[in-house]
């Protein structure tokens, strides 16, 4: 009997300590991190320091890259079988793909897309492929006077559907192809929107085209649905870790530890916002969207922020809103000033471009 009582008392003590720990954890002190506490340095200085850093394991990386050359014939065979090649694994694959194209794809026309760039005009790429294919067909004598008349209109003025239809023309041998599209970072910022990925999938399914692409983001497969993967792209996955630094690709991305551009300011603000609660992020988003839509005003009145936040069931009282605002001010994300009418207004000390980028980051 005493043993049972001791066990009950032990379980009660454990339960009490558990809920006590939860209560204390919920009422803990707020983070003291501030935006200004991040020791940012000048971007040029940081890049210079990175350039002067001594590379490691150069011999091993070079030997690994050399070993992949034995796979080139297999990769060409996979292309001829109708597959698109998707190269994945840690390290930059830019040099590998370009070496493969220069050695093993010499009998084909190769067009390269640098997906790590911030913006890419996908129609210009399709126009370039159509022009290359047209030149090949003319030089090989495979065009007729009737087909010549159909393509008198410049490719640049034709619709995407017409261009894709031309690239998907009939072929003498079903799995043969004329153009190889090499895409560095098909998951890059200039290509990862849904519309561009749909166009790339349609390009991959064209009879005259084959794609060789690299991917680096861990969530890249989420860009494609089942039809795109198995029917259009028809990916053949190849694990080719190179452990090579992303030297070229990294030039086009802002460094988190540096300052000076809107992208970098947005990145540091996003880091702090992601550490806050979803409700706090929602309040910040309301304020930011108001400031973006009213660029001529000195800020957003606190009453207006409270009204909109309450209507959207984000806050239940002025006290709740004030707690969020205090947290924003502690992190130096939001500041207060009086407008010309003597009313206290809230504003965010970020440039318009940086503010818009911050909103897009926390909305993902």
- Is the domain of 205 the same as that of 125? yes
Please state, as a whole number, how many other Cβ atoms lie within 10 Å of the Cβ of residue 229. 15
Of 208, 239, 270, which residue is a domain's last?
A: 239
Tell me, yes or no, whether 340 lies in a domain. Answer: yes
Range of the domain at 293: 262-363
With contact defined as beta carbons under 8 Å apart, do 10 and 310 qualify?
A: no
Tell me, yes or no, whether 17 lies in a domain. Answer: no
> 193, 190, 229, 227: which is closest to 211 by C-alpha?
229
pLDDT of amino acid 99? 95
Tell me, yes or no, whether 247 lies in a domain. Answer: no
CA distances from 108 to 132, 185, 207 (A): 11, 21, 14
Distance CA 130, CA 163 (A): 7
Residue 336: give its domain's CATH number: 1.10.10.10
Alpha-helical segments (H) within 141-261: 145-150, 160-167, 194-204, 226-227, 247-251
What average pLDDT values come out for the chain (364 residues) when binned by 10 residues?
Answer: 58 64 54 59 65 79 93 95 94 94 92 86 89 84 50 74 86 71 91 91 92 92 91 94 85 55 64 82 91 87 91 88 84 83 85 83 74
Q: How many domains does the chain have?
A: 2
- Is the domain of 206 the same as that of 132? yes
pTM above 0.95, yes or no: no
Cα angle value 87/85/244 (rounded, 5°)? 20
Tell me, yes or no, whether 49 lies in a domain. Answer: no
- Is the domain of 268 the same as that of 176? no
With contact defined as beta carbons under 8 Å apart, do 115 and 183 qualify?
A: yes
* Partners of 113 in beta bridges: 183
Of 205, 224, 239, which residue is a domain's last?
A: 239
Residue 91: give its domain's CATH number: 3.40.50.300
> 357, 360, 363, 362: which is closest to 265 by C-alpha?
357
Which uninterrupted H or E stretch holds 357? helix 352-362
- Is the domain of 337 the same as that of 278? yes
- Is the domain of 288 the same as that of 209? no
pLDDT of amino acid 148? 44
* Partners of 111 in beta bridges: 181
pLDDT of amino acid 67? 95
- Is the domain of 230 the same as that of 266? no
- Is the domain of 97 the same as that of 223? yes
Distance CA 289, CA 259 (A): 24
- Is the domain of 87 the same as that of 131? yes
Tell me, yes or no, whether 352 lies in a domain. Answer: yes
- Is the domain of 125 the same as that of 68? yes
Tell me, yes or no, whether 283 lies in a domain. Answer: yes
The one-character DSSP state at 276 is: S
- Is the domain of 119 the same as that of 77? yes
The one-character DSSP state at 30 is: P
Tell me, yes or no, whether 320 lies in a domain. Answer: yes
- Is the domain of 230 the same as that of 285? no
- Is the domain of 187 the same as that of 332? no
CA distances from 80 to 96, 265, 316 (A): 20, 47, 63
Distance CA 23, CA 26 (A): 5
Tell me, yes or no, whether 189 lies in a domain. Answer: yes
The one-character DSSP state at 331 is: T
């Amino acid at each position: 009997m005493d043993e049972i009582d001791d066990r009950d008392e032990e379980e009660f003590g454990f339960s009490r300590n558990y809920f006590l720990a939860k209560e204390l954890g919920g009422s803990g002190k707020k983070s003291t991190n501030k935006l200004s506490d991040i020791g940012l340095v000048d971007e040029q200085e940081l890049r210079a320091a990175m350039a002067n850093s001594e590379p490691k394991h150069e011999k091993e990386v070079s030997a690994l890259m050399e070993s992949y050359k034995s796979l080139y014939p297999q990769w060409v065979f996979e292309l001829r079988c109708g597959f698109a090649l998707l190269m994945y694994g840690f390290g930059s694959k830019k040099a590998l793909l370009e070496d493969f194209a220069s050695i093993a794809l010499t009998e084909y026309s190769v067009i390269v897309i640098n997906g790590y760039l911030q913006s890419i005009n996908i129609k210009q790429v399709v126009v370039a492929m159509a022009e290359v294919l047209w030149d090949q067909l003319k030089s090989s004598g495979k065009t007729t006077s009737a087909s010549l008349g159909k393509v008198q209109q410049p490719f640049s003025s034709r619709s995407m559907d017409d261009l894709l239809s031309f690239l998907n023309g009939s072929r003498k041998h079903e799995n043969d192809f004329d153009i190889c599209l090499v895409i560095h970072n098909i998951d890059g910022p200039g290509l990862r929107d849904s519309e561009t990925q749909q166009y790339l999938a349609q390009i991959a399914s064209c009879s005259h085209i084959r794609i060789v692409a690299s991917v680096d983001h861990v969530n890249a497969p989420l860009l494609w649905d089942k039809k795109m993967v198995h029917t259009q792209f028809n990916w053949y996955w190849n694990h080719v870790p190179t452990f090579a630094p992303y030297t070229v690709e990294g030039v086009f991305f802002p460094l988190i530890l540096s300052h000076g551009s809107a992208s970098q300011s947005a990145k540091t603000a996003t880091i702090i916002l992601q550490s806050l609660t979803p409700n706090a992020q929602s309040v910040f988003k309301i304020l930011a969207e108001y400031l973006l839509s009213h660029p001529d005003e000195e800020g957003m009145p606190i009453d207006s922020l409270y009204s909109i936040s309450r209507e959207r069931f984000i806050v239940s009282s002025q006290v709740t809103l004030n707690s969020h605002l205090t947290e924003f001010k502690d992190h130096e994300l939001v500041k207060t000033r009086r407008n010309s009418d003597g009313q206290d207004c809230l504003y965010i000390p970020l440039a318009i471009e940086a503010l818009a980028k911050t909103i897009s980051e926390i909305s993902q």
